[in-house]
Amino acid sequence: MEENTTFNFKVYGDYALFTDPIMKIGGEKFTYPVPTYQALKGITESIYWKPTIQIYIDKVRVMNPIITEAKDIRVPKYNDMTKTDLSRYTYLKDVEYQVQAHFEFNQNRPDLAGDRNAKKHYAIMKRCIEKGGRRDIFLGTRECQGYVEPCKFGEGESFYDNSDDRLFGTMVHGIDYPDETGRDELGVRLWNVVMKQGVIEFPRPDDETLVRRSLHKLKAKQFSLSNIESVDALYAELLKEGDL
């Protein structure tokens, strides 16, 4: 894509819970030490997304020290929803991340080719970042409210600027959805995470080094120009209001 579609933002909050799926087996949640590719992609899509585009997370910079805090949470019993049980959830505390991402047009959606205008999507993305996102921002789970602001990637000091490389082992990279892969199945991607001086660079979802597992068959949800909001109309409205 010739046009510039790279953008940056800062996301922060009091708590985050990027759940390690292995720890959920016992009914309790334990967070990964850093956000996954998929979690950051979900945050970015809450800022702005259309089925015409695909969001790619390039890298994340961890600004604050990685600190966990455990909380006792009342949850419904699995076999009796009228009763509750006590579970312990382990959260990340006082988190802040700088994110660099970009978007590309979804080539698996030729029916939306008429909406492929990089400049307008980029302009709306930047405006949505300035406004804090179009939808609520959650840092992993709904109880962890997040906040978004514009930033320049690499500005300011990170707690890990002068630290050695940190290996976090095998983590979930993301989910393979059929509308993004062109395959009628849902899959998961795994990878070995390395943080270098506070920065984690993510491989693309189609990278051959990722470990993939198929979960189950699934067909893509169908969108068309008749049942999505017109970006052209929104772009014209913003120009008229002088917000761009």
Is 36 a member of any domain?
yes
Range of the domain at 189: 6-241
| Confidence (pTM) | 0.83
Q: Is the pLDDT of residue 2 over 60?
A: no
Is 140 a member of any domain?
yes
Number of structural domains found in the chain: 1
Is 62 a member of any domain?
yes
CB-CB contact of 106 with 177 (8 Å): no
The CATH number of the domain holding residue 188 is 3.30.70.2660
Is 43 a member of any domain?
yes
What is the pLDDT averaged over residues 50-60?
A: 93
Is 1 a member of any domain?
no
For 65-115, how does the pLDDT look when each residue is reduced to its tens digit (9 = 90+)? Answer: 999 999 988 877 777 777 888 888 999 999 999 999 999 998 888 878 888
Q: Which of 32, 33, 40, 46 is nearest to 58 (CA)?
A: 40
Is 119 a member of any domain?
yes
Is 74 a member of any domain?
yes
Share the mean pLDDT of the chain. 88
